[in-house]
Structure formats: C-alpha cells, structure tokens
Structure 1
C-alpha cells in the first residue's frame, strides 16, 4: 500500500514539497537485502508494530458500522487538480493541487487530499495490489493520500496522530474482453509514463484530468474501513484506511505499461515491478450496515421459500 511518508527527519511521498528519499532508511522492493522482508529490521520503530498495513480483508469477518456513510468529495471533479506525475524510484506519484478534500465517510475530521500513487505487480499476469480481499490480489491498487486539514499540511504532526492520515484505496482490475486503451482517462495518464522512465523525472500534467474520471465506474458508497499504517518505511501507525469494494476497470495493455516502462533508477536499472508490501496480520475491519429494508426483504424471501417448500412436501 501505501507509498506515503516516513517520520525520520524527512516525510516521504505525501506532499509536492517532499521527495521519497527518506533520511536514514534505505529500503526497496526489488533487492533481497532491503525489500519488505527486512523492513522490520531497517525501520524497527513501527514496521514491526501491531497495527500494520496492508492486510487481507476477510469479508465474512467484517463488522457492520452504521457510521460508515457516504463521503463528501470536494473538487474531485476539478479538471486541473492533478498537477504533476513523477517517478520516485519506488512508485509513480501524482501531486494534487490545493482545495481537494474529503469528509464524511465515518471520518471525524476533514482531510486535505495531497497526492495519489500506484502499486502494481509484473504485468496483468502477476497481480500487485497491496490489500487483498478473501485472499484475492488485484493487478494494481491506487491510493489517494489525505492529511487531516487541521494540521495545515504539517505531515510531521500528522504521522504522530493515530488518525492523522486518511488513505483511500482503489483496486484496479483488468477489463474483460480484448479492449485496449480503456478507459480513455487512464490511457491519457499512462501515456505520460514514457516521460518519467527514470527516477526523479517529473512531467506537468495538462488540464482535463480529474479524480472523478479516474474513479469511473466505482460505487464509492461501498467500502471497508480499518485502522492501519503506512505501507512503506517508516510504517507509521497513523492511517485511517478506506478500501473500496468495487475496482476500477482498466484494459490489460494499460496495466502492463507500468511494469514495462518505468525504472527504479536510470534506464540501465531494473524495471519497477512488484511494488507492494506483503500482507500483515489481520486488523478489525468494518463495513456498511445492511439496511433494515434489505434485511426485511431477505427475511421475507426466506419465509416465502420455506412455505413453498413445505407446501410441496
């Protein structure tokens, strides 16, 4: 998951002002000496903690929570919200302009949306989402990173607050059939990967791209909630996680561009693949309560079925 920030003098990947070269923490995805199997040693303060992310979401164990209402999304429709796209050496990250916010959704505060980034495997055949659902791993996962508005962008304070960050996780699944270049918004976004093939390269995004368009087809009223952590060192346990149930549908050719285009350093370095942390121990997960109307209809349906079966005995 989550490619966010690290609290060791430097805040990683949360804002447009901070790069992801976290001082004092030399971690990676692609080398056996610094990949996620070593993060608890590399960054022991949190990475070996008891509230770590990502997790496998066991849908049958998720408890109902009547407080998990719909979100309010501010400026998600703005066609100038996405400012730049960057190869950080660990992920592809898009910086968001000011004024993009979320509230509601069971959150006690309003949060400023700062950036989004992606996690992927190795092409469509090797899935690379961070979270899994009932053991299923999706091809990709997108995270929109948000910081509590009351901190006015002070991410050092945010990572010291158990609810200082709110992350929205969206699975990305391959579109059925043989369609290519779909949806168009994702084709446009992926086309800029050719401009950021090496670490540190950044490209300015044109107007016309909105968060709402990137989330095409997703019912944002259905989601899972749990308290977790950053999914990169220093793994601060400061994140309210929202993982949406419905995936974004993207064609296979666009999914595969990520693992075939961007490198971890220069063009002689490996391609960026399998950019996800392994599953961490379970955390309590909640989801929307089943409405009384639905429960009543379900109960009546069972009653009618029982009567019909009894009559035919």
Structure 2
C-alpha cells in the first residue's frame, strides 16, 4: 500500500527514488533502494513481524463471527473522486471528504482518503501485492482509510496499531464486453494520458463513483488480518481487508497502466512492477468459530474470509 496520507506525500529525489517521510529514500527497482534494501534503510518496521503483503492460504482460514458486512458511506456518489495523480510509484486518486467505511469488524468508522493501484507489466505479467494460494492477480486496488476519531491526524494514526484500514481488491482481465465496470474504468483510465509524468495531477470530472469501480464484487466475502504499509517505512498499523472476488476489467485497460505512465519525466522508464513481494507469514491464529455460514480467519494476526453472510 503506497503511503497516501497528505502528510506522507512522497518527495522525488530522482526519477524513481522517493522518500515516504522526507528522510527514507526508497524505490522498487534501483539497486540502492529496491525492496531488498528496505529492511536496512527503514529497519524499525520493514523487517518487523507484521509485514504486508502476504500470501493468503485459504485452507488455513478459520471462523470469526465478528466479521460482519461493511457499510459504505458515499461510495455511491459520482462526485467523490477528486484528483488523479502520478506519484512516481503509482497512480493515486484522492477522495472527497465524507467518504467512509464502517462495520466489517472494524472498531469504528474510518474515513476513506484515497485509493491507488499496484501492477506488474501488463495483463500478461501479474502485479498484485497479495496473493491467494500462491496466485498473483494482474493488479490490486487499495483504498486507504484512517480512523475517523483521529480527524486526519497522521501522528495519532501511526501511533495506533489499527489506525489505518486498507481495503484490497484484486483486478483481473475478462473477455466479456458486457461487464458493468467497463464504463467506469474506461473513464478513469482516460485520465492516464494526462499524468504520464511524475508529479502530474488532474481533476476528475463528476461521473464516476466508488461503487461503479467496484461493481460486481461481493463485498461481504473477504479476508482479514493485521499488517503494515507495503512501502517504507512499513508501519505496522494497518487493518487489512482483502476481498475474495475480483474486479473484472478488460485487457486493454489493464495494459494502459504499464504503457502510459512513467516513473519520472517522459524519457524515464515506464512504471512497471510496482508491488512489494509477499512477506513471511506467522502461524495461523484461530478465533472462535462464527455462524454455520462460515467466517474464516487466517494470517499475521488473524486473516478472515466471510462466506455467505448477508
């Protein structure tokens, strides 16, 4: 999960080297700062015991009746997507205030701040961060949320082991031309041509809602575990929700990300393989069994999948 809170806006040091906090240089691919160096350049958390992403082993899932359905506030509004930007490491969309998620076993409501994406190199080279039973999807969308009670205070969020909540959605290609999400994804990806270089951002016209982008995904079926940011400084403060069902998008739209945006200016490399590898898992922790319909828990601190809850 690229760090998205405003106070943690990445600052460019070179075309593809960035700092998450103003002091830690990191990148995905350069020898001096790629992910093999993160545990050294940001040792407080990046070599910690609660790191994300992970491989989700579905057979190890156990029940948790506290993992109920979510409530999504203003996810149906077509004016909540405000800006789209090229950070040099991802494509990020900033959301308007008033967008929230609650329920789903979260301790309180969380404010949805923004979403960003991780990908490999087109539809043929997968680049999701999380994997399921070893399967890596072409892309992954992360919605980043902060506890409403901290009122956007980054310091408070990072001091709380559950200060952030991330919603992860796999994206995979489909050959169907009737998928309802295509219209919204066509609109969203049409902006990529305006943010080909790092630092560029443009306003998003009304007309796309979060629900439009997530159409077809059963948001009552998900995995849950406690983990971390997936870029330095890898703070272990994230309640992760990874949804079982994927967003279906056609191949051409997936390929646009790796063919359009650059890590720096127009002469720099295209932005490809922008994901962290899966991290070592802790032994499965079993929570009390839920209803007979099944909620399953697995993972770093308990990874859960809700099955058939309404």
Partner in structure 2 of residue 155 of structure 1: 154
**C-alpha contact (below 8 Å) 2:181/2:213 kept by paired residues:** no
Alignment of 1:188-227 (within 5 A): 188-227=187-226
**C-alpha contact (below 8 Å) 1:180/1:254 kept by paired residues:** no
Partner in structure 1 of residue 40 of structure 2: 41
Separation in structure 2 between the aligned mates of residue 46 and residue 239 of structure 1, nearest angstrom: 12
CA separation of 1:181 and 1:132: change in aligned 2, threshold 3 A: same
The unaligned stretches of length 5 or more in structure 1 are 5-12, 295-313
Helix, strand or coil: the match of 1:128?
A: coil
Alignment of 1:93-132 (within 5 A): 93-132=92-131
Helix, strand or coil: the match of 1:114?
A: strand
**C-alpha contact (below 8 Å) 1:180/1:253 kept by paired residues:** no
Partner in structure 1 of residue 15 of structure 2: none
Separation in structure 2 between the aligned mates of residue 285 and residue 3 of structure 1, nearest angstrom: 27
In terms of fraction of residues, the more helix-rich structure is 1
Separation in structure 1 between the aligned mates of residue 286 and residue 129 of structure 2, nearest angstrom: 18
CA separation of 1:109 and 1:180: change in aligned 2, threshold 3 A: closer
How big is the alpha-carbon RMSD for the aligned residues of Structure 1 and Structure 2?
Answer: 2.1
CA separation of 1:289 and 1:204: change in aligned 2, threshold 3 A: farther
CA separation of 1:14 and 1:185: change in aligned 2, threshold 3 A: same
How far apart are 1:33 and its partner, in Å? 2.1
The unaligned stretches of length 5 or more in structure 2 are 12-19, 295-310
Separation in structure 2 between the aligned mates of residue 288 and residue 141 of structure 1, nearest angstrom: 30
CA separation of 1:107 and 1:34: change in aligned 2, threshold 3 A: same
Helix, strand or coil: the match of 1:106?
A: coil
Separation in structure 2 between the aligned mates of residue 256 and residue 181 of structure 1, nearest angstrom: 19
TM-score (norm 2): 0.88
**C-alpha contact (below 8 Å) 1:179/1:251 kept by paired residues:** no
User: Which deviates further from its counterpart, 54-63 or 281-290?
Assistant: 281-290
Helix, strand or coil: the match of 1:241?
A: strand
How far apart are 1:159 and its partner, in Å? 1.2
Separation in structure 1 between the aligned mates of residue 81 and residue 150 of structure 2, nearest angstrom: 22
Match 1:20 to one of 10, 24, 37? 10
Partner in structure 2 of residue 175 of structure 1: 174
- Which stretches of structure 1, 4 residues or longer, exceed 2 Å deviation after superposition? 176-182, 283-294
Helix, strand or coil: the match of 1:65?
A: coil
How far apart are 1:287 and its partner, in Å? 9.7
Per-residue CA deviations over 1:59-93 (Å, capped at 9, x if unaligned) read 01111100000001000001110000000001000
Separation in structure 1 between the aligned mates of residue 288 and residue 178 of structure 2, nearest angstrom: 33
CA separation of 1:255 and 1:288: change in aligned 2, threshold 3 A: farther
How far apart are 1:292 and its partner, in Å? 2.6
Helix, strand or coil: the match of 1:24?
A: coil
How far apart are 1:35 and its partner, in Å? 1.0
Partner in structure 2 of residue 281 of structure 1: 280
**C-alpha contact (below 8 Å) 1:174/1:255 kept by paired residues:** yes
Larger radius of gyration: 1
Per-residue CA deviations over 1:77-110 (Å, capped at 9, x if unaligned) read 0111000000000100000000000110001111
Aligned length in residues: 285
How far apart are 1:293 and its partner, in Å? 6.3
How far apart are 1:19 and its partner, in Å? 2.2
